[in-house]
A and B are shown apart, each in its own frame.
Chain A
Amino acid sequence: MTTADKTSGNGHSGHPFYPDHLLVEGIVAVIVLLAILLVSQVWQVPLEEMASPSDTSYVPRPEWYFLFYFQLLKYFHGPLIVVGTFVLPLLLFAALVLLPFLDRKPARGVLQRPRSLTAGVLAIAAMILLTVVAYQEDDSMKLPPVTDQQVAAGKDIFYRFCILCHKMDGQGGFMAPDLTHIGSRSGRTYMERVIINPKIVSPSSIMSIVPLSDAERHEVSAYLSRKK
């Protein structure tokens, strides 16, 4: 009934699928099952607050297995974003689909295929690296508490760089949203994110990236968070 081809190892020398192999499979299954029951009982997942379109301070973060991709997308801006959302996924998908048609040589161990091995290891390393960077950026967002000194310094910076476009207390530019009451609309994390990468407000945002140090950025966001 089975077309045992040359590459398949189905000979007469094995052990029966049922019950022998199913037993091995069963043992692994029970271990995994117990693990998931335990984990689900000990670390019950929280329900976050209800969705609300006005809470723009929220920084969405996907599950770990998509994190590398979210991080990758952060590096493509403007017209280049299509590289991240379309070109790269398409290339990856095409590579996966074509793999069995390109690599038809008789099987060799991975160690005898240095080029595919290097490509594979590099791809996996890149994903891990992006995931680590994503976690670290989240950590760097843990903000110091607001002090009056910070607020004053932040105000200075704002009136030097940001007032050109943004309106504040009736003065300033008109190209960008009035930030007079930004503190009552948004949280600090969101402001920090916008300063680092304005594209998160909208992909077509024309806000320029103002190169501030971490400390300066914290000062500006401290100032803005007081503008209620």
Chain B
Amino acid sequence: MPGERRFQTWLDERLGLASFLASIRATPAVPRWVDWRYCIGGIAFLALLLQTASGLYLACYYQPNPQAAWKSIEFIEGNLPLGHFLRSMHRWGACLAFLLVLLHMLRVIHHGSYRPPRELNWLSGIGLLLLTGLFAISGYLLPWDLRAYWITLNMANWLQSLPILSDSIAWFLAGDTLWGHVPVSRFFVLHAIVLPILTAVLLFFHFAMVRRLGVRKPE
């Protein structure tokens, strides 16, 4: 056996790569009528990957407490190579992701793809929509600039009116005082750890369903 082949076998015994690649090749043929509109979901996924990349860069320098948060963003913008560019990309990328998710959803509604047997696919999609919104909301607060502060304060005020859970939510948003460090670090954990994990789980399910059921044939 030539060396290259031997290495492949060695790797394959350990990782099962061949069967993985085979399973990708065996993905059912894509029907002829699948046009560019069916790409939107995939591009939304790409947008989330871009957010992960620019977000990881920002997270290396961001400091989740109100005394330092704003300064750390100023530092990112002013002193780091590509800092301002990547921060802009994270912001525009959020817009893009939201837009694409909405367009994808319109596509799904237009084709009536939520109908049986794709209910769970639709429901996981709603979960993803909520998560996208929560990403945006928790991201607002992080730069700790005027806008962040006042929007969060407004939200806390409105949420006071909820018939249930209003106290816990207001406490979560505003911490002991909105001025303390608690809400900033909470939002950061939410934005950079909890939401990404939940999103990954739901996306895995969402894609598995698409693979299992295929896309719906329009009438």
List the interface of chain A (C-beta within 8 A of B): 1-5, 7-18, 20-21, 24-25, 28-29, 32-33, 36-37, 39-41, 43-45, 47-53, 55, 58-66, 73, 81-82, 84-86, 93, 96-97, 99-101, 103-110, 120, 200, 202-203
Q: What would 10 more interface pairs be, CB under 8 Å, given A21-B30, A44-B87?
A: A2-B212, A8-B216, A28-B42, A36-B92, A47-B145, A51-B66, A51-B145, A53-B149, A63-B95, A97-B126
Contact of B88 with A43 in the complex, beta carbons under 8 Å: yes
CA distance A108 to B217 in the complex (A): 11
List the interface of chain B (C-beta within 8 A of A): 23-34, 36, 39, 42-43, 46-47, 50, 66, 70, 73-74, 77, 84-89, 91-96, 98-99, 102, 109-112, 114-119, 122-123, 126, 129, 136, 140, 143-151, 154, 157-163, 178-179, 211-219
| Distance (whole angstroms) from the CB of B161 to the closest CB of chain A | 5
Contact of B211 with A2 in the complex, beta carbons under 8 Å: yes
Contact of B154 with A107 in the complex, beta carbons under 8 Å: no
| Distance (whole angstroms) from the CB of A146 to the closest CB of chain B | 23
CA distance A120 to B33 in the complex (A): 25
Contact of B43 with A39 in the complex, beta carbons under 8 Å: no
A53 contacts across to B, CB distance below 8 A: 149, 178-179
Contact of A45 with B211 in the complex, beta carbons under 8 Å: no
Indicate whether A20 sits within 8 Å of B32 (C-beta atoms), given known contacts A41-B85, A82-B162: no
Indicate whether A9 sits within 8 Å of B216 (C-beta atoms), given known contacts A17-B29, A43-B92: yes
Contact of B136 with A50 in the complex, beta carbons under 8 Å: no
Indicate whether A104 sits within 8 Å of B25 (C-beta atoms), given known contacts A36-B50, A63-B136: no
A39 contacts across to B, CB distance below 8 A: 88, 92
Contact of A29 with B43 in the complex, beta carbons under 8 Å: yes
Contact of A7 with B217 in the complex, beta carbons under 8 Å: yes
CB < 8 Å: which of A8, A48, A52, A65 contacts B136?
Answer: A65
Contact of B91 with A108 in the complex, beta carbons under 8 Å: no
A10 contacts across to B, CB distance below 8 A: 28-29, 31, 214
- Residue contacts A-B, CB under 8 angstroms, 20 given: A2-B214, A4-B28, A4-B214, A5-B117, A5-B214, A9-B31, A11-B29, A13-B32, A14-B28, A25-B39, A28-B36, A36-B47, A39-B88, A40-B86, A41-B88, A58-B150, A59-B150, A63-B98, A104-B115, A109-B219
CA distance A7 to B116 in the complex (A): 9
Q: DSSP class of B's interface residues: helix, strand, loop or mixed? A: helix
CA distance A55 to B27 in the complex (A): 58
Contact of B46 with A110 in the complex, beta carbons under 8 Å: no
CA distance A86 to B159 in the complex (A): 9
A15 contacts across to B, CB distance below 8 A: 29-30, 32
B92 contacts across to A, CB distance below 8 A: 36, 39-40, 43, 45
A5 contacts across to B, CB distance below 8 A: 117, 213-214
A25 contacts across to B, CB distance below 8 A: 39, 42-43
CA distance A17 to B214 in the complex (A): 11
Contact of A51 with B29 in the complex, beta carbons under 8 Å: no
A59 contacts across to B, CB distance below 8 A: 150
CA distance A58 to B86 in the complex (A): 27
B87 contacts across to A, CB distance below 8 A: 44-45
B162 contacts across to A, CB distance below 8 A: 82, 85-86
Contact of A86 with B126 in the complex, beta carbons under 8 Å: no
B119 contacts across to A, CB distance below 8 A: 100-101
Indicate whether A14 sits within 8 Å of B36 (C-beta atoms), given known contacts A100-B115, A103-B114: no
A82 contacts across to B, CB distance below 8 A: 161-163
* A24 nearest CB neighbor, chain B only: B39
